[in-house]
Every structure is written in structure tokens, then in C-alpha cells.
Amino acid sequence: MSLLREMIKEEWRMHSELFGGRNFALFPLVVLAASAFLVASSFYTGFTVGQIEYGILALLFFLGLNVGSIGFISRDRAENLIGENNLLIYSSRTLPIQQRKIVSVFILKDLLYYSALFVAPLTLGLLSVNYFTSYAVSKVLMAWVAGSGMFMLGVSMSLAFASLYNLGVNYLLGFSIPLAGAIYYSSMGLMELTPLGFFSNPGISSFITGFLPFSLLALYSVAIFRPSSGRKSRTSEDKFHEVHDLLGYDKTGIVSKSVIQLLRSSGGVIKIFFSFGLIYAFYVFMMSQIPFLTAGTAAPGLVVALILSIASLSTYNWITLNDRPSTYTKFPVEMHEVFDAKLSLYLTVSVPVAWAFIAANTYIYGADGAIVGALSLPSISVYLVGVTAYLSGLEPNEMLFDAWKFTIFMFSAGAVLVPMFVAGLLYHLAPAVVSIGFLSFSLIIGLAGFHIFHEAARKWERENR
């Protein structure tokens, strides 16, 4: 129990120090408010209660995948990401405790910590459906239990595959191929083997079939978990002048420096595709659950452009990961030059990747709205990154769990994305009008985004003077 208590305390301290100090305590309230708003607005725009419930449970599964991915991160990479924190999960060599016990407590900590601070407020947002139709509190409780299970399913899957990856490719293939075969040839549906099955058909048998597989997966993860040993020290050739000459337009050298940092960081450019792919996978899942998105009046090309614009913010996070405004005060550059360089690199990297996903989306769901979506995406992305930069400067991670900043961002983004999303849903009622309106509105908010971004540079220049 003492180790569990210390791990919960460690998680709280890490989040509160990284993400806004005491403001982090308000974050569950922000999650509740955002969830209630999104649930109510989704119901108002035509989604059924069942689709909203499935969307929340699917979202929790993807959040679990993200949290469990710490297993892929070695100690040195974790320090690069969160600073010099001696995480307890990596302390088996210094503490008189077995590695398996530490990992077991780590999984239990994740279950308790995230079920209370994130899953509970997210599912409580379902109560806002009562504004339109009756929704029992017992259903919220069921959603919380199933949501916690989906979250832990994601954590267990990430840890299991991370452990297999660290053991070797043979172990990874030896586990993945038989598992895929068993699922493919199983008479049961895949969803029935997850907590979603229990939520759809509550009962003792569905609880066992829904929760037993991921419980076994969690135990398997504990048994084989080996933290990555980290990278050996390495040296690299001086590539700055080569990259600088290749870019041509980079007068200050900041873009060249950022490109080299991105290429040499863990995962390189692959993590950009991974970040987009994770959110796009969630979008594909929702498309499979909500028929009117593909068979009704909606234009998949417009809807996915909005989703990918949000996903592109992860690129801004990656290209500013090693930056602080104070870092540049000792160099002969102005802060607006730093921000301009980051914006140009952000657009250069994120827009082509997003366009690649739009092309894939066109192949899967058709071309309705694809061209307008592709043309609108850069402007929408500029607006979102402008708001992000104004609120958090070169440290966008801090905004994520700062209750006040996150609330401002949610309202600023929702004010433009919700009307555009509704327009995307109503595309086939008046394709020409919606296309012109969508593109024109995106250009307007794009110009506003450029202005906000430049104001952000002035703001952070004043604060670091």
C-alpha cells in the first residue's frame, strides 16, 4: 500500500508541476464541463445516446493506449520528456522490490488515478443528456465501470506490446500473429471481448468475457515487462550547415536547428505520423459506429479536415519539445523570429502529413468535400496553433492540464470548429453553398490565426524581457 500511495503522489506531483501547479486540481471540473457540453451538442446535432456512449468509451481506450505507452519510453527518453524525475517504475535496481510488483502497482495506480480524475468526470458528462431525454444515473455508473475497463485495456495493450518490443521482434511477432488469428477465427465478436460488450449487454457472463481478456493481458504485461535500457551514448556529424543550405530560406538558423532536433529525437518523424494515425484511428472507429456520417448528408472530407487540424497540434508540441522562450534570450534573435520559424516548420511538416491522411480518407469514404477540406486545413491549423501559442508560448504541454488555459482553448476552438462540423454534416443539403462558406470561413479564421500568432510572439517577448 505504501508503494501505491507513493506512486499516486508521484503522478499527482508530476502533473501539477508540469501542468499549471494548483490549477491542475481544477482539471477534472474542466473535463466534466467539456464532456457535458460535447455530449449535449452531439445529441443536439443528431447523434444518438448509444453513439455518444460508444464514442466516450472508445476515447478512453485510446487515452489508455497513450498512457500505457510509457513502457516504450526508456529512462533517458522519459527524462527528456518530463525532466529529471526518478520514476518509481524504473526503480527496481535501487529499491528492494521486485520488478513485477512495481509494475503491478503501477497498473493499479493508473486504474485508480485515472478512473477518479479523468474517467469519472468524462462519463458524468452523460448526465447532460437529461436536458433532452431521461438518462438514469445507473447508466452513468455502468459507463464509468466500462470506461475504466476500456482505459485499462488500452494501458495493458500498450504495456504488453512495449514489453514484447523490448524483448525482441521475434517475441512481438510470436505473440501478435497467433493473437490476430485467434481473434479472426473466433466465433465471438471482437467487441464482446472488451468492456464494451459488458456495457452493451450487462450481466455476469458479459462481465467475465468483457473484463477477463484484458485482465489476463495485464498479468501477462506484468510477467514480461522489461523497461527499455535506453540509448547508448552516441555522436553525430555536424548536419547544421547541410540542412541550412538545403532549406535556403532559414536566415536565423532556427528552422534548421528545429529540424535536426526533430530528426534526432526518439522516433524521429515517425512519431508525427503516429500522432496523426492515433487520432485518425479513433475517427475511423467513430465512422464505423455512426452510419449517418458516411451514408447521410455529411461530407467525410470536411469532417476529417477538422479532425486532422486538431491532430496537427501534436506537431507543434514535437517541434517545441526542447524549447523555452528564455533559451533564445541569449542569442541575437527577436522572439517574433523564433515564433515565425516555428510556424513555418509547423506548416511544412504537419500539412503534408494531414493531406496524406485526407487522401487515404478519400479512398476509404469517398471524395465528398475532400478538396475543400484539404484547402481549408492549413487555415484551420493556423488558427488552432495561434490560440495555442498565445496561451502557452513554446510549451503547449503545459496548457493541456492547466484548467484555466484549457478552458479558454476549448471555447476558442469550439467557437469555430462546432459550426464548421455542423456545416460538414449538412453538406449534401447544399454542396456549393456549404463548400464556399466552409472555405471562406476557414480563410477568415486563418488570417485571425496569423494575427493571434504574431500577438503571441509579442506577449512572450514582453514576459521574457
Answer whether residue 404 shows pLDDT above 80. Answer: no
Answer whether residue 75 shows pLDDT above 50. Answer: no
- Residue 293 banded pLDDT, cuts 50, 70, 90: low
Q: To the nearest whole number, what is the mean pLDDT of the chain?
A: 78
In the chain, what percentage of residues exceed pLDDT 90? 12
For the chain, the farthest-separated pair of C-alpha atoms sits apart, in whole angstroms, at 69
Q: How far apart are CA 22 and CA 186, in angstroms?
A: 49
What cell numbers appear for 237 in the block?
Answer: 556529424
What pLDDT was estimated at residue 437?
92
Question: How many Å separate Cα 95 from the centre of its chain?
Answer: 33
Q: How far apart are CA 282 and CA 177, in angstroms?
A: 23
Average pLDDT over residues 223-240: 64
Answer whether residue 113 shows pLDDT above 60. Answer: yes
- Residue 429 banded pLDDT, cuts 50, 70, 90: confident
Q: What is the per-residue pLDDT across 350-371, written as a single tens digit (0 to 9) for each? A: 999 999 999 999 998 888 889 9
What cell numbers appear for 448 in the block?
Answer: 485571425
3-state secondary structure the chain: CHHHHHHHHHHHHHHHHHCCHHHHHHHHHHHHHHHHHHHHHHHHCCCCHHHHHHHHHHHHHHHHHHHHHHHHCCHHHHHHHHCCCCCHHHCCCCCCCCHHHHHHHHHHHHHHHHHHHHHHHHHHHHHHHHHCCCCCHHHHHHHHHHHHHHHHHHHHHHHHHHHHHHHCHHHHHHHHHHHHHHHHHCCCCHHHHCHHHHHHCCCHHHHHHHHHHHHHHHHHHHHHCCCCCCCCCCCCCCCHHHHHHHHCCCCCCHHHHHHHHHHHCCCCCHHHHHHHHHHHHHHHHHHHHCCHHHHCCCCHHHHHHHHHHHHCHHHHHHHCCCCCHHHHHHCCCCHHHHHHHHHHHHHHHHHHHHHHHHHHHHHHHCCCCHHHHHHHHHHHHHHHHHHHHHHHCCCHHHHHCCHHHHHHHHHHHHHHHHHHHHHHHCHHHCHHHHHHHHHHHHHHHHHHHHHHHHHHHHHHHHHCC
CB crowding 330-345: b at 16 or more within 10 Å, else e: eeeeebebbbbbbbbb
Q: How far apart are CA 449 and CA 50, in angstroms?
A: 36
What pLDDT was estimated at residue 378?
94
Specify which of 23-27, 291-295, 374-378 reaches the highest per-range mean pLDDT.
374-378
- Residue 244: which residues within 8 A CB-CB, separation 6 or more? 250, 253, 256
To the question of pTM greater than 0.75 for the whole model, the response is: no
- Residue 174 banded pLDDT, cuts 50, 70, 90: confident
Q: 313: closest CA among 272, 258, 263?
A: 272
Average pLDDT over residues 87-95: 64
Answer whether residue 292 shows pLDDT above 80. Answer: no
In the chain, what percentage of residues exceed pLDDT 70? 80
Helices 27-44 and 49-68: crossing angle in degrees, nearest 10, is 140
Specify which of 77-91, 211-225, 228-242, 336-350 reaches the highest per-range mean pLDDT.
336-350
Q: What is the per-residue pLDDT across 332-347, written as a single tens digit (0 to 9) for each? A: 778 888 888 888 889 9
Q: 271: closest CA among 19, 80, 18?
A: 80
- Residue 216: which residues within 8 A CB-CB, separation 6 or more? none
What pLDDT was estimated at residue 76?
45
Assess contact for 309 and 384: CB atoms under 8 A.
Answer: yes
- Residue 128: which residues within 8 A CB-CB, separation 6 or more? 35, 36, 37, 39, 40
Q: How far apart are CA 433 and CA 274, in angstroms?
A: 35
Which of 128 and 181 is assigned the larger pLDDT?
A: 128
Average pLDDT over residues 231-259: 74
Q: 115: closest CA among 105, 126, 123?
A: 123
